[in-house]
Structure 1
Amino acid sequence: WVTQQLVSNVPLNAAEAAKILARMPGHTPSADVPPQVAPSPRIPTAGAPTPPPTDGHPRKDPGENTSHHPARPERKPDPEPEPALETTGTTEKAEAPEAARTLVAALPHLSPDLRRIPRGMHDELARLVSHWLTAGHTPGSVRTHILRGLPDDGTPVHRPGGLLRYLLRDIPPVPVPSSASAAAHPAPAHPSSRLAALRECEGDHVQATLFRPVGDETLCRHCLAPPSSGARV
């Protein structure tokens, strides 16, 4: 009993396989081809041949397996603008920042302790002064409040910007005069002992300049200093 196997690189039917086996050595042509030698009927693969997909998208709708973003909340309509304020109040509030900037720019001439205010703090100090002016305080009352807050024992002020921020942070209520005469002639503020020793120079200055006199002089040392030899008269 002999088993013969035939291997081919192309499909063969039974007659073609028998013809090739008849040519092989050791085979008797008259003998019938054993049933086990002939190839069994080919079973086709499942399904029909289909071309490969080119669009890259599945045929099934993936909507049920896809997570959707939550719905955006409905946008509420913008509130209606508030009615405009009266013309007088609006003008006063618009002029307050400019007056505050002018007051802050003149603070270095108010006292020698305030000559080193950083320019980077001018906007912040102007906003604080603006709150004072909006509350009803006058520029004179703001300057008086600052002078009262300066040290009167000769202590040098190393950070005048920080000291001004501290003095202007809290806004006191505006004093209400008791009668019309008091409003027309307000009582003079009592300066500190250090401020009382200062005197305003009567020389030609852009802003009011205070100095500490030694005797009865009315001019500061800059006005009393003789002009340099190279200066023109």
Structure 2
Amino acid sequence: MLWHAIAPSRRYTKASHDVVRHPRLNSDAKILLLYVQGLPEQEVEKALSDHAKSLGISGRAYQRAKKQLIASGFVHEWKRQGRRGYWVTDQLFANISLTDEQAKAVRNDRVGDVVRSAVAPGAQEPTVGRPRGRETGDYEPVEEEPGKNYSHPPSELAELAELAEVAESERVLLSLRHAHPQLHLGVREARGLAEAAAEWIRRGVSAADLRRALTSELPREGVRSAVGFLRHRLVQKLPAPPAAPAVAPVSPPVARELIACEAEGAVEEHVFRPVGDETVCGPCYREEQAAVWARRAEEARNEPPAPTWRERVAALGGATA
């Protein structure tokens, strides 16, 4: 349940300007705050998330905006248990920043009768089944977006890239008013078309080309609805996704013909399948290399010992003399 705490009319304009210039609120939080301030009284029964959805703000963007509004004192929440044991969330929405004590005073004035009229637990109708101990501890339900599955959230980099594409497309849509007055869009209208325009950017279209595609070849009779015309053009003229680069088929290697081994001293003639231009098979090549190293080792053993450093110095002295 959502309650409004709106300042008097003489302070309303100043509070609105303070919201627009607030340094700790992003654009979603400011739009949501200004939108809820202008709602009629019959709309106060809706939850804050419902109003955000009507503006196209949902998911992580809504949670981020709501967190900023709570931290800045514009939104306050309390959870209580209703008549039948269900948890109820009371939300107080103000156009000026309120402390916790000020918000509780407003909330008690608005919802005090509702809380006091709640039936005590012992006076409720008994539930079916035998009583049993508590199982869930001190857990309180957390407000979540219905229909969303956050078991596998996207990576942070992918989310930032997606937000950047949507923000860029929204800027393009809002700039169309400068090219043609007939394509003037409000903030809410541009936000509703931003996702469709972002698909163009994901398919490799630059912001300048997107603006050119939306403003060129307008109807001669004029544009009656900028939102309808742009939505139709974004869908109908959406370019095809970039084709994946063609990969040349890799042919399997051709098997070489068998040739006779040309190793010296082979016991018997044999053949093998070469890999390159070799003429000796692997076993014979290893035997030849082993014989070469054996001969070099034998020669090293038969060589006279190397002269010591004293002998080298004495030899150098004789050469100098």
Same fold (TM over 0.5): no
TM-score grouping bracket, smaller chain normalisation:
0.3 to 0.5
Instruction: Choose between structure 1 and 2 for higher RCO, CA contacts under 8 A separated by at least 6 residues.
Output: 1
TM-score (normalizing by structure 1): 0.35
* Bigger share in helix: 2
TM-score (normalizing by structure 2): 0.26
Larger Rg: 1
* Bigger share in strand: 2
